[in-house]
Amino acid sequence: MVRETRHLWVGNLPEHVREEKIVEYFKRYGRVESVKVLRKRGSEGGVAAFVDFVDIKSAQKAHNAVNKMGDRDLRTDYNEPGSVPSAVRGLEDSSPSSSRDVTGFSFGPPVSLHTREGRYERRIDG
């Protein structure tokens, strides 16, 4: 189980979303300290971002809520700066050179995904 923090990974965001729109959306849960949009890689899934709240209670509210932006159901996972969120662990090319340099990750549910002939196979992290 992932430890609750004030830092969230948010996935399946619309393709051309801007930081300001993400802040505007998530401030309903509390004060947003920062947002970092991650580049989209590949043609599947949406864009992802790191959303850092000022306090853990705000992050908990956001994580426990059903979040939609446009027609997309957003995915959230707790993130500890300096680590790769469990939502992106197991994706191909998942060896970032620095702890926050995960700009290649842009999508994925909070389970590991492994590609097999163009399809995704779900594997729950143990």
- The separation between CA 8 and the C-alpha centre of its own chain, rounded to angstroms, equals 6
**For residue 120, what is the enclosing H or E element?**
strand 119-123
Q: Is the pTM of this model over 0.75?
A: no
pLDDT tens, 115-126?
A: 333 333 333 444
According to CATH, the topology of domain 7-123 is Alpha-Beta Plaits (3.30.70)
pLDDT value for 45: 64
Which residues are within 8 A (CB) of 17 and not within 5 positions of it... i.e. 6 or more apart?
37, 47, 49, 69
Sequence ranges of the domains in the chain? 7-123
Report residue 58 as tokens.
Answer: 């705000």
Task: Decide: 107 and 45 in contact? Cβ < 8 Å.
Answer: yes
pLDDT tens, 10-63?
A: 999 998 899 999 999 999 999 999 999 997 766 666 799 999 999 999 999 999
